[in-house]
Chains A and B, each alone.
Chain A
Amino acid sequence: MAVTTSSPQTQVYARTVFFDRLRKYLFFAMLAFWAALSVAPLYFTLVFSFKPVADVYTPPIWAPIPFTLDNYITILGTFQLFPRWVWNSVFISVIITIFRVLFCAMAGYAFARIEFPLKSFWFNLLLISMMMPGVVTLIPSFLIIGPGLIRGGLQLGDLRIPTGFGLIDNPWGVILPGMADAFGVFMMTQFYKSFPKELEEAAMMDGSGRWGTFFRIVLPISQTQLITLALLTFQGAWNNFMWPLLVLRSPEQFTLPIGLQWFRGEYYTLYSVILAGSIFNTLPILIIFFVFQQYFVRSIAATGSKEG
């Protein structure tokens, strides 16, 4: 009876509830679909990395049947360049991360706290450089890292000044330009600006100089922000492709992404091995991502809201 006698208001209300629920299910279905899509490539890669090389296009695609560890054995044992590439990637990424976090924190602190001549000039240049597309400095940066802007160096009387570092095919050629970057400095500047000064001022009163205060007080209290920057930097360095591709020339010096791409060219038929290698390249980042998830989320949220 209640249905037939329901007033127009309750009908409207029932309809709203119905549409609300429908909308929620639609949204949920959409999210579930995109989630499935997001996992699919990595899932298939994992499955086929455990299947024999000959089965690289053979169903079933959902489970590793027949199962084998051969591809991983090839990577870790037979093909000796793989462990080298992993080591090169770790070495380059870790060194870049350590330097960049320190240097960006130092510069960010100075821009936020210390008065020095031309400060706003340099900071404006920094902001502009963040918008500059990286490809325009690619060729000169390559010349500086390698043979030099001027071949044979700059001649000043008897003095010959080299204009390049001669670091082609050397891991330091990848590391050097990555040691500081505009975005990191900007991020740290914004952070220190929003941070209360009292602790530092107390330390300065006690007679610690700028440097003592920075290393003993400022760095420890900005731990969260430093970890966030470290994660972003490590991920970028670990996955970087174009610059190492130009600098590193011999297979012994390759990082993992360059090596995998090269391996594909040399051994096209061993695609299952490439898939196992891909898992190797992805796994460390995935583990770091799961452990430090909230930092990743924070860093991304920060990029959007602060610059927008």
Chain B
Amino acid sequence: MRTSTGRRKWADALNGYLFISPWLIIFLIFSLISLGYAVYLSFTEYNLLRPPRWWGLEGYQRVLEDELFISKALPNTFKYVLIVVPIQTFLSLVLAFAMDQNLRFQRFFRTIFYLPSVTSSVVISLIFIWIFAPQGIFNQITGLTVNWLDDPRTAFYVIMGMNIFTTSGTLMLIFLAGLQDIPLAVYEAAEIDGANGLQKFFYITVPMLRPVIFFVVTVGVIGCFQVFDQIFVMTNGGPLDSTTTITYLIYKWAFRDTRIQMGQASALAVILTLIILAVTLLQRRVIEGSGSGAER
């Protein structure tokens, strides 16, 4: 008996590792080793031609003294996150709430709302370039004559609007699933107590959805801090660097500039990771903190 359970244990250990091995190998190479090597590279000077040369914190210092990073990429990225995340979260929550009112055509709306999310980021960017061209459809409909994507005052907002537009559908579906998990009895109890629609929304829906809100905001923050595709396709960081974000700058330093600086780009990637980590933790405290306040 003992030997057979012993053998079973060995077989399980072996099989367990065989079953996870494909994932584990890819994880070790492209996540764990890659992460470690990114940290190592961030302390070196590396231009692909000569081997990486250790220079300690020099790379970080250069990042923090870089004009393009300090005065453009860093503020632009925060501005992007601070505008896009709240709007897309609120908008998709309101849309989901409206959908949840047992209105007609629910299935139809659900399908339509998801359409922008299935379109690839490149395709939707190419379409928006054309719509927001000087003689494009947007100006034709509104009668304006703004050169949206060539004007540093407007280009970034067009990209923000487009991304709010494309992600809200998916987020709405996540919220809708969460809303449908809230027991009707809770709303009925509130109605008996005389709560109106707005009160129900802010005192029941929002608190009950807190875990889902946390998830949506987290996903939004992580995604928005790394915005790249749309900027690459639509503006290449311009005009006048008004749309240069941190991820775009990493790409520029590591792959695009004539003087490739993979070490410095890695330092910026590490900084970005730390920023995202800090913001996620802070945001978790804010959302959970406000929760304990409401329940007290």
Contact = CB atoms under 8 A, between A and B. Distances in A.
Contact of A106 (B20, B95, B104, B119): B20
A45 B127 contact: yes
B116 interface: yes
B114 A106 contact: no
A3 B117 CA distance: 51
Given A116-B17, A126-B27, A301-B174, A138 B269 contact: yes
A135 B223 CA distance: 11
A285 interface: yes
Contacts of B135: 57
Interface string B6-28: 00010111011101101110110
A136 interface: yes
A132 B27 CA distance: 12
B212 A308 contact: yes
A39 interface: yes
B29 to A, nearest CB: 6
B124 interface: yes
Interface stretch (A71-79, A154-162, A179-187): A179-187
Contact of A241 (B41, B119, B120): B120
A23 B103 contact: no
Contact of A260 (B32, B110, B122, B140): B122
Contacts of B114: 289, 296
Interface string A126-153: 1001011111111111111001011100
Nearest to A145: B30
A133 B254 CA distance: 17
Given A115-B12, A180-B26, A31 B273 contact: no
A24 B103 contact: yes
Contacts of A238: 120
Contacts of A109: 19
B214 to A, nearest CB: 6
A261 interface: yes
Contact of A144 (B34, B141, B247, B272): B34
Given A133-B222, A239-B122, A114 B15 contact: yes
A141 B30 contact: yes
A131 B20 contact: no
A35 B168 CA distance: 12
B95 A31 contact: yes
Interface residues of B, number: 101
B276 interface: yes
Nearest to A214: B19
Interface in B91-117: 94-95, 98-99, 101, 103-105, 108-116
Nearest to B26: A180
A126 B181 CA distance: 28
B73 interface: no
B137 A135 contact: no
Nearest to B105: A31
A137 B38 contact: yes
Interface residues of A, number: 99
A38 B228 CA distance: 22
Interface stretch (A194-202, A219-227, A271-279): A271-279
Interface in B47-84: 48, 51
A300 B250 CA distance: 30
A53 interface: no
A246 interface: yes
B177 interface: yes
B101 to A, nearest CB: 6
A261 B174 contact: no
Contacts of A117: 13
A229 interface: no
Contacts of A209: 15
A266 interface: no
B254 A139 contact: yes
A13 to B, nearest CB: 13
Contacts of A217: none
Contacts of B237: none
Contacts of B38: 136-137, 139-140
A216 interface: no
Interface in A266-308: 271, 274-275, 278, 281-282, 285-286, 289-290, 293, 296-297, 300-301, 303-305, 307-308
A192 to B, nearest CB: 11
Interface in B206-246: 211-212, 214-216, 222, 225-226, 228-229, 232-233
Contact of B136 (A57, A125, A242, A303): A57
Contacts of B273: 132-133, 135-136
Q: Which 8 A-B pairs have the closest CB atoms?
A: A116-B16, A301-B177, A239-B120, A304-B174, A308-B211, A110-B19, A137-B34, A140-B34
Interface of B: 9, 11-13, 15-17, 19-20, 22-24, 26-27, 29-35, 37-38, 41, 48, 51, 94-95, 98-99, 101, 103-105, 108-116, 118-124, 126-131, 133, 135-137, 140-141, 165, 168-170, 173-178, 181, 197, 211-212, 214-216, 222, 225-226, 228-229, 232-233, 247, 250-251, 254-255, 262, 265-266, 269-270, 272-273, 276-277, 280
21 contacts: A23-B101, A28-B103, A38-B116, A41-B131, A42-B115, A99-B22, A106-B20, A107-B19, A109-B19, A122-B20, A133-B222, A133-B276, A138-B250, A176-B26, A177-B30, A209-B15, A241-B229, A264-B126, A286-B115, A301-B174, A301-B176
